[in-house]
Amino acid sequence: MDEKIVYEKHPVTAERKAELRQKGYKIIDAKFAPDDYKHPEPMKKGSSGGDKPSKGLKVDEIKAKLAEKGIPFDENAERPALAELLDKPQE
């Protein structure tokens, strides 16, 4: 049996973990997700975390949004660090 992999932001709630495992997924921390990864089981609205501005965006798209907003970033940074900058509330 092929095991499906899902990259999920940790910590994962027990409910979310059970939901994904029931569907046959092996859960790996989202920080290890490839740049072109698209989540097959997005969290439902109202779940913990909610939709973040970086959700579903690729590295180059996140960089473009950061530049648009005038938020400085390291060109060599990886997706998790860039997403954190984009998702952080701006003052």
Sketch the domain layout of the chain as residue ranges: 1-51, 52-91
> What value does the mean pLDDT take over residues 81-91?
83
| pLDDT value of position 72 | 93
Distance (Å, rounded) from C-alpha 79 to C-alpha 83? 6
- pTM for the model stands at 0.46
**pLDDT value at 8 more than 60:** yes
| pLDDT value of position 43 | 65
**pLDDT value at 7 more than 50:** yes
Angle subtended at Cα 77 by Cα 74 and Cα 83, rounded to the nearest 5 degrees? 100
| pLDDT value of position 2 | 64
Count the helices and strands in the chain (H runs, E runs).
3, 2
Q: Please check whether residue 24 is in contact with residue 4, taking contact to mean a CB–CB distance below 8 angstroms.
A: yes
> What value does the mean pLDDT take over residues 63-81?
91
Is the Cα torsion angle 66, 77, 59, 19 positive or negative in sign? negative
Give me the chain's average pLDDT, please: 83
Please name which of 85, 55, 57, 51 lies closest in space to residue 71, comparing C-alpha atoms. Answer: 85
**pLDDT value at 73 more than 90:** yes
